[in-house]
Amino acid sequence: ATPTALMVGVGRAAQLGILIKGQDALEASGRIDTVVLDKTGTVTSGTMRVTATAFADGHHELDALRLACSVEASSEHAIARAIAEHAIERGAEAHPVELYETLPGLGARALVDGRDVVIGNKRLVAAHLAEPSALRGFASSEHSEPGDTTVYLAVDGACVARFSLLDTIKESAAPTVERLRALGLHTILLSGDGPGPANRVGALIGVDEVIAGVLPTEKADIIRRLQHAGRTVAMVGDGINDAAALATANLGLAMVDGTDIAMKSADIILVRDDLGVIVDAVQLSRRTLNAIT
Ligand code: ADP
Ligand code: MG
């Protein structure tokens, strides 16, 4: 494309709520054949709610809620906010934490009142249990739907609670996937969440493929694997855990209210909070490239 055509394209994009950081990005987006969508915060609203809880026999519920709330109060993660809110609504109060650490794609850990508290997915919590088989009873207990996001709470090596959460899918998600397909693009939902919730969301929005249970570092590996298979990949994400994948993709698109780091790693910033803007970006760049050839 000529520099003039590209400049016009960049200007037109800005009017549509698309900020293009370099003209290369506009050229690249005209060639993509695969669109990888992050789940939490990109396809879903990033606001979650706790739908069910289960507590270990003999463990005081309010104590479990207080420990969960204390650790999660330090995090901006959608799951952390939902759990803290749920616990506070039930009368729990957050206590100060020490040695807080966030484990991206897994959960978090801290000392609360001298107790070792770990909260997160099965992979993380099982690794901190004195008896990993203790999770099994919890995993199969009632009030847990296969489409729920499941988080476990371990205190001093014993699993004491389970939280089931549901997220809200953005209204623009399914129509966007449909329009991407109409443009001949292959769509993939990529998530750090388990296969249950990832497949539920994937089916509801109609993507071609779902890849679940991936760690933040693995997200970039998956993009690389697709590229080695000959695909030209656009990645759409929002979170800090998407930064490497956004930078690896041929084209990285960050949703507007995403974290700073995600925006720095992206080539295109989607300022309109509507997934349809992805389609606009692809169409615009195709037109821009065609205008010259
Ligand atoms: P996604 O790829 O869908 O945006 P993440 O990579 O942020 O999801 O998280 C993957 C999984 O790690 C979550 O589904 C959850 O089980 C667990 N997890 C991450 N952060 C937390 C947290 N603060 N509290 C509890 N669980 C967490
Ligand atoms: Mg996310």
What secondary structure does DSSP assign to the chain, as a single string?
Answer: --HHHHHHHHHHHHHTTEEES-HHHHHHHTT--EEEEEIIIIIEEEEEEEEEEEE-TTS-HHHHHHHHHHHHTT--SHHHHHHHHHHHHTT--PPPEEEEEEETTTEEEEEETTEEEEEE-HHHHHTT-SSTTHHHHHHTSSS--TTSEEEEEEETTEEEEEEEEEEEEPTTHHHHHHHHHHTT-EEEEE-SS-HHHHHHHHHHHT-SEEE-S--HHHHHHHHHHHHHTT--EEEEE-SGGGHHHHHHSSEEEEETTS-HHHHHH-SEEE-SSSTHHHHHHHHHHHHHHHTT-
Neighbours of ion ligand 2 (CB under 5 A): 38, 40-41, 239
Q: What is the pLDDT of residue 17?
A: 74
Q: Is the pTM of this model over 0.90?
A: no
Q: What residues act catalytically? A: 38
- Indicate which atom in ligand 1 lies nearest the CA of residue 105: 6
How far, in Å, CA of 103 to CA of 116, rounded? 15
Residues 57 and 150 in one domain: yes
Residues 161 and 178 in one domain: no
CA of 195 to the centre of ligand 1 (A): 13
What strands lie across the sheet with 97-103, from one edge to the other? 44-55, 158-169, 149-155, 115-120, 107-112, 97-103
C-alpha 159 to ligand 2 mean position (Å): 26
Residue 25: per-residue pLDDT: 74
**114 plus 259 within the same structural domain:** no
Among 131, 146, 167, the domain boundary falls at: 167
State the number of CA atoms in the 13 A half-sphere of 87 facing the CB. Answer: 27
Distance 215 CA to ligand 1 centre (A): 9
In a shared domain, residues 57 and 122: yes
Say if residue 127 is in the same domain as residue 75. Answer: yes
Which domain range does residue 188 map to? 3-45+169-290
Res 278: pLDDT:
87
Same domain? 243 vs 261? yes
Domain check: are 190 and 285 in the same one? Answer: yes
Ligand nearest to the CA of 262: 2
- Looking at 167, 187, 215, which one is the last position of a domain? 167
Average pLDDT, the chain: 88
137 and 228: one domain?
no
Tell me the pairing of strands 115-120 and 268-270: unpaired
Instruction: Report the CATH number at residue 194.
Output: 3.40.50.1000
Model confidence at 234, in pLDDT bands (50, 70, 90)?
Answer: very high
Q: Please work out whether the CB of residue 252 comes within 6 Å of at least one atom of ligand 1.
A: no
119 and 208 in a single domain? The answer is no
For the stretch 125-179, pLDDT in tens is 999 988 877 777 676 666 667 788 999 999 999 999 999 999 899 999 999 999 9
| 121 Cβ closer than 6 Å to some ligand 1 atom | yes
Q: Dihedral through CA 264, CA 16, CA 190, CA 238, nearest 10?
A: 40
Residue 185 and residue 134 share a domain? no
Residues in the chain: 293
Is the distance from the beta carbon of residue 274 to the nearest atom of ligand 1 less than 6 Å?
no
Which residue's CA is the closest to the ligand 1 atom numbered 4? 40
The answer, yes or no, to whether any atom of ligand 1 lies below 6 A from the CB of 193, is yes
- Whether 239 lines ligand 1, by a CB cut-off of 6 Å, is yes
- Among residues 142, 167, 192, the one where a domain terminates is 167
Q: How many domains does the chain have?
A: 2
Question: Do 131 and 175 fall within a single domain?
Answer: no
Give the pair of three-digit tokens for residue 33: 């054949």
> What is the per-residue pLDDT across 14-53, written as a single tens digit (0 to 9) for each?
777 777 776 677 777 778 999 999 998 899 987 899 999 9
Nearest ligand to residue 151 Cα: 1
CB of 120 shorter than 6 A to ligand 1: yes
Any idea what the CATH number is for the domain that residue 148 is in?
A: 3.40.1110.10
Q: Which of 150, 151, 166, 257 to mutate to test the pocket of ligand 1 (most atoms within 8 A of CB)?
A: 151
- How far does the centroid of ligand 1 lie from the alpha carbon of residue 166, in Å? 13
Same domain for 178 and 277? yes
Closest residue by CA, ligand 1 atom 25: 120
